[in-house]
Amino acid sequence: MGERQRPTIITVAARAGVGRTTVSRVINGSELVSEKARAAVLAAIAELNYVPNSVARGLVTSRTNSVALVIPESESRLGSEPYFSAVIRGVSTALAETRTQLQLVLVRDQAERDQLTQSVAERRVDGVLLVSVHEHDPLPGLLEDMGLPTVLAGRRSSDESLSHVHSDNAGGAATAVNHLLARGRRTVATISGPLDMDVARSRLQGWRDALEKAGHEATDRLVASADFTGEGGEAAMRSLLERVPELDALFVASDVMAAGALAELRRQGRSVPDDVAVVGFDDSIIARHTNPPLSTVRQPVEEIGAMIGHILLEEIGDPEKPRRRVTLPTELVVRESS
């Protein structure tokens, strides 16, 4: 049987149901294409793993020496969440002694996702680092199908197929809850992150496991979900106090949300830690500047960034390298809030 032919622009046009000129315009970034046609062409490019001839010739002789760090969040999240800046520092450290340039890419809507897909299809980068992974985000699967080396900070689920690095989220949450129980607290509520993210589900599971193992209530009435923002933490705290006014302890799945929860507790006249003991997660700079300073679970965020950078470089150098799944330990840091 002969070798399978590499797809051409004609193949892409036929698959997308458009003309060759439309495919060429999409590849070259022209605005003279409808959004429907552009989406069809990009989908066909991804499905066929099509690489334009000019790019393919370049791949034979050299790489781009560039990788993309993709964050599917808004500028406000990027600026307010210390996690992202720590990951960026770690990645930069990993790339510092190489000739590899780092491109920071925010993907906030479908148009920006299409733009990234086009860049990947044309192999303008050698690989992608993806941060803030949501379970049903099509981007990781799309990158995997296109054959581009891709490494995640976090994972979509426990059976993640791509290389990834994350913290022991469930174990860290359980440690926080055990600390609160050891302080004599009886009603330990939690504010989780968005439950379409493995990081949020894992921390929620750690909270639940620790309480059930100790023989304490771990029902849904003690859970409020938020969006990893301070405002979300405030709203979730209000909801919990309305439902469970007797709560005397709180585990929060991020320091940013915990800062919002502390503000709401103060607004409602609850003393921390006398009335309510609070533990966050991350040990970001925020934890040292809340009132009172926040007990929290430290995760090695810069190390996560450095490790995903190193793994991506390895996979770019050897695409056949086995996928890696790395879990890094966490550590409880006790301050005045508990």
Instruction: Let me know the angle formed at the C-alpha of 155 by 151 and 157, rounded to the nearest 5 degrees.
Output: 140
The domain that holds 28 is classified in CATH as 1.10.260.40
Whether 236 is covered by a domain: the verdict is yes
- The two tokens of residue 195 are 């439950």
Rounded to whole angstroms, the Cα distance separating 74 from 298 reads 25
Rounded to whole angstroms, the Cα distance separating 58 from 178 reads 56
Q: Which domain holds residue 15?
A: 1-50
Asked if 63 and 313 touch (Cβ cutoff 8 Å), the reply is: no
Whether 213 is covered by a domain: the verdict is yes
Handedness of CA 114, 144, 87, 327 (dihedral sign): positive
Residue type, 155: R
Cis peptide before 292 (omega within 30 of 0): yes
pLDDT, position 4: 52
Whether 133 is covered by a domain: the verdict is no
Of the candidates 30, 50, 70, which is a domain's last residue? 50
Rounded to whole angstroms, the Cα distance separating 197 from 297 reads 18
Rounded to whole angstroms, the Cα distance separating 241 from 232 reads 14
Whether 62 is covered by a domain: the verdict is no
Query: Kind of pairing, strands 295-298 and 331-333?
Result: antiparallel
CA atoms in the 13 A half-sphere facing the CB of 212: 9
Show the beta-strand stretches assigned E in 6-51: none
| Cα-based distances in Å from 108 to 70, 79, 120, 276 | 10, 14, 17, 37
Q: For the whole model, what pTM was predicted? A: 0.80
Whether 255 is covered by a domain: the verdict is yes
Rounded to whole angstroms, the Cα distance separating 14 from 53 reads 17
Query: For every one of its 338 residues, what pLDDT tens digit does the chain have, with 9 covering 90 and above?
Result: 344 567 777 888 899 999 877 877 777 666 677 888 888 888 888 788 776 654 544 444 457 888 999 987 777 777 778 888 899 999 999 998 888 889 888 877 777 777 777 777 777 888 999 998 888 888 888 888 778 899 999 999 999 999 999 999 999 999 999 999 999 999 999 999 999 999 999 999 999 999 999 999 999 999 999 999 999 999 999 999 999 999 999 999 999 999 999 999 999 999 999 999 999 999 999 999 999 999 999 999 999 999 999 999 999 888 888 999 999 999 999 999 99
DSSP letter for 287, please.
Answer: G
The domain that holds 295 is classified in CATH as 3.40.50.2300
Asked if 93 and 306 touch (Cβ cutoff 8 Å), the reply is: yes
Whether 291 is covered by a domain: the verdict is yes
Q: What is the CA radius of gyration of the chain?
A: 23
Whether 261 is covered by a domain: the verdict is yes
| Cα-based distances in Å from 252 to 4, 234, 258 | 53, 11, 6
329 phi, psi to nearest 5 deg: -75, 160
Rounded to whole angstroms, the Cα distance separating 127 from 145 reads 13
The string of DSSP codes covering 134-153 is -TT-HHHHHHHHTT--EEEE
**Number of domains making up the chain:** 2
Whether 13 is covered by a domain: the verdict is yes
- The two tokens of residue 289 are 């500047």
pLDDT, position 56: 47
* 289 CB-near residues (< 8 Å, 6+ apart): none
Handedness of CA 219, 221, 222, 226 (dihedral sign): positive
Asked if 105 and 116 touch (Cβ cutoff 8 Å), the reply is: yes
DSSP letter for 325, please.
Answer: E
Of the candidates 10, 28, 50, which is a domain's last residue? 50
Nearest to 252, CA basis, from 294, 197, 304, 312: 294
